[in-house]
Every structure is written in structure tokens, then in C-alpha cells.
Amino acid sequence: NNSSQLSSLPLQILLYVNGIYYIFYFLATLAMIIYKSQVFSYPDEFLAPDLAVLFLMAILEVPRLYLGFKGNLTEAEAPLGLSLGLTVGSVVLCVYLLLWQTYVLWADVLLNAVLLSAYGLESGLKVTAIAAFVS
């Protein structure tokens, strides 16, 4: 590692890939919810929370990724810390979609597992980056 540059390259790569993957994840999950509502019996009172969680996660993802990029590139720990906090929220929502959705299809399990592992790896790298910036 170049000691003059504190920004974490793996974190940057991961954040970039996460952004692209999240777009695919959002569209795929939305399509699958629409498919489930047509094929299975999906009453409105069960459909509404699932859609709400998905959209909330999308709304959270944008500032999370932006703050992550900004924090890592400007080597500032505050945005990165905020991003970490938002990641915790995203993880909770992802776990909901993985375990407590009305219908959990095998494709859901795969997508959410990949997203969770990305979040986990990101969190570890963010912590390391914050430690590097602070010290």
C-alpha cells in the first residue's frame, strides 16, 4: 500500500460494483414481486409491506453509496461513518427480504445472499478505512 494514499482501492471497487449490482437487484426483485402477485395468492395487506421495504432500501442505497464514495475519496471519516450507519439499515432490510417476505423464492435467496455478503465485506473495508483515516 502506498502510504501517501489512505483511500482504500478495494472499497472503491466494491462500492462501484455494489452500485451496479444494486440496480440489477432492485429491478429483479421488483419483477419477481410482480410475478408472485400474478401467479400466487398475494393479498394487498401482504404485498404492501414487501414493496415498501424494497423501495425504502432503494432510497437508502443512494445516499449510502454516495457518502461511501465521498468519504473514501476525500479520506474523511465522517461520511464514511454515516455510510456505515446506513449500511446497517440496509442490512436489516435485506435480511427482511431474505427471511420474512411473503414468498421467498430461490432466486430471492440468491440475490439477497449476494447482496448481504457484499454489505458485509463493505462494512469490514469501511471500518479498516476509517481506522486508517483516523490514525
Partner 1 sequence: PAETRDAAQARVRSLPAPVTDVARLCVCDLLVAQCDVNCCCDPDCSAEDFSLFTTCSVPVVIGDRRLCSQKAAVYSLDVEANPPERIFKLIDQVNPSIFCIHATNYKQALYLKSPEIPTPENFDQLLDKFGGATFSAEPDSWNLDTDVQNPPEANETSRYEYGVPVQTEDAFLRLPSPVVSSWCSDANPAGFLVNQATKCIRSVSVEKCDSIQALSMLFYINSSILASVFQVNITVQSIAVQSLNGMRTLLSRSEVLRLPMVLDELCINAVLGVNYHITHTDTGEIIEAAAAFVLGAISKEELSIEQSFEISFTQENTQPVPLSGNPGYVVGLPVRAGFQPQGYPFPAAFSACFTCSGPSSQTLSSMDIYEIHLSNKHSQLTILQSTSTQDCLAAQGARAPVLFGYNMISGCKLRITAAVKCQPLAQTLLDVLKGQSFPEYVASFGNSQAQDVLDWVPITQLHISEQMTSHTLQSSCQIPVSLGIEVKWTKYGSLVNPQARIVNVTATITTTTLKQLPSGRERIIPITSSVVFTDISSPAEPSYKAWPTINIKLPFDFFYPFV
Nearest approach, Cβ of residue 34 and partner 1 (Å): 12
- Alpha-carbon distance values, 59 to 7, 86, 132 (Å): 26, 11, 29
Residue 66 CB contacts under 8 Å (≥ 6 apart), including other chains: none
In angstroms, give the least distance from the CB of 42 to partner 1. Answer: 8
Q: Residue 99 or 127: which CB sits closer to partner 1?
A: 99
Residue 133 CA: distances (Å) to CA of 46, 52, 92 = 45, 36, 27
Closest separation in Å from C-beta 107 to partner 1: 5
Nearer to partner 1, 59 or 105 (CB): 105
CA diameter of the chain: 59
Nearest distance, CB of residue 99 and partner 1, angstroms: 8
The type of residue at 98 is L
Q: How far apart are CA 60 and CA 48, in angstroms?
A: 18
Pick 16 or 24: Cβ nearer partner 1? 24
Q: Which residues bind partner 1 (CB under 8 A)?
A: 32, 35, 40-41, 46, 99-110
Q: Which is nearer to partner 1, 42 or 66 (CB)?
A: 42
